[in-house]
């Protein structure tokens, strides 16, 4: 009886999408962590500067142009796939998590429920996909005060920003967040 249970647990463990038992190389994870940090810092810096200089409604347009640009530049520099995904998305094309990213977000959300702080929360795994083996990395992003202007509940979002979001992202799902909530993750995918 006990043996059967263990076997079932083992089998269901192996059925997790694509995960393999190979341990990620800590040095490679360090490099991916640094890349994720660069993306977050470059984007955060640009966003803040633009909001201070021209106001949040103008910053929506900047974010639309700059966010994909920073991700594309870092992807080109490293040869890896670098980006951001959301628990709910504004830009469905770039921000929708695939199976592994969705698993990472679900895990982060669970860990936050158990009281872990999102600041240093990350996940790194070697994953086998049809096109080959990859090292996958995700770093949790929590909602800070600044984010509420464009991702908060209707009362937090100025009218000008609402109009701009409606025009640029008619299918926007990335509002209604509260402070400290899990917003998404910076993600890096590196071929092995
Ligand atoms: C000035 C408005 C504005 C502010 C402030 C802002 N965002 Fe965004 N956010 C956007 C826009 C616009 C997009 C879509 C960008 C694109 O088209 O690639 C976006 C997309 C995202 C995404 C990618 C997933 C998706 O939904 O497409 C994440 C993650 C994200 N924002 C997190 C944050 C966090 C965390 C903060 C606070 C540090 C923040 N944002 C502050 C406007 C903003």
Q: Give tens-digit pLDDT for 5-55.
A: 444 444 444 445 566 778 999 999 999 999 999 999 999 999 999 999 999
Give strand ranges (E) for 44-142.
Answer: 81-86, 122-129, 132-142
Residue nearest to atom 35 of ligand 1 (CA): 143
d(CA 86, CA 128): 23
pLDDT at 3: 57
Residue nearest to atom 9 of ligand 1 (CA): 63
Domain ranges of the chain: 19-191
Distance of CA 147 from the midpoint of ligand 1 (Å): 7
pLDDT at 14: 45
User: pLDDT tens digits, residue range 107-132?
Assistant: 999 999 999 999 999 999 999 999 99
Round the average pLDDT of the chain to a whole number and report it.
91
**Of 20, 9, 33, the residue nearest 133 (C-alpha):** 20
CATH number for domain 19-191, candidates 3.30.70, 3.10.129, 1.10.10, 3.30.450: 3.30.450
Q: Per-residue confidence at 61, pLDDT binned at 50, 70, 90?
A: confident
User: pLDDT tens digits, residue range 155-166?
Assistant: 999 999 999 999
With a 6 Å cutoff on the Cβ, whether 138 touches ligand 1 is: no
pTM value is 0.91
pLDDT at 158: 97
Residue nearest to atom 36 of ligand 1 (CA): 147
């Amino acid at each position: 009886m006990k043996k059967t249970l263990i076997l079932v647990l083992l089998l269901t463990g192996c059925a997790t999408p694509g995960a393999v038992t190979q341990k990620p190389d800590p040095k490679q994870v360090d490099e991916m962590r640094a890349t994720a940090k660069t993306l977050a810092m470059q984007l955060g810096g640009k966003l803040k500067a633009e909001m201070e200089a021209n106001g949040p409604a103008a910053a929506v347009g900047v974010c639309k142009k700059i966010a994909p640009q920073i991700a594309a530049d870092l992807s080109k520099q490293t040869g890896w796939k670098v980006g951001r995904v959301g628990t709910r998305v504004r830009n469905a094309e770039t921000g929708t998590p695939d199976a592994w990213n969705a698993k990472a977000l679900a895990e982060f959300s669970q860990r936050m429920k158990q009281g872990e702080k999102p600041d240093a929360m990350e996940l790194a795994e070697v994953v086998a996909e049809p096109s080959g083996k990859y090292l996958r990395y995700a770093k949790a992003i929590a909602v800070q005060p600044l984010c509420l202007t464009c991702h908060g509940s209707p009362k937090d979002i100025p009218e000008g920003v609402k109009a701009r979001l409606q025009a640029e992202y008619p299918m926007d799902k990335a509002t209604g967040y509260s402070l400290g909530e899990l917003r998404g993750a910076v993600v890096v995918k590196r071929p092995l």
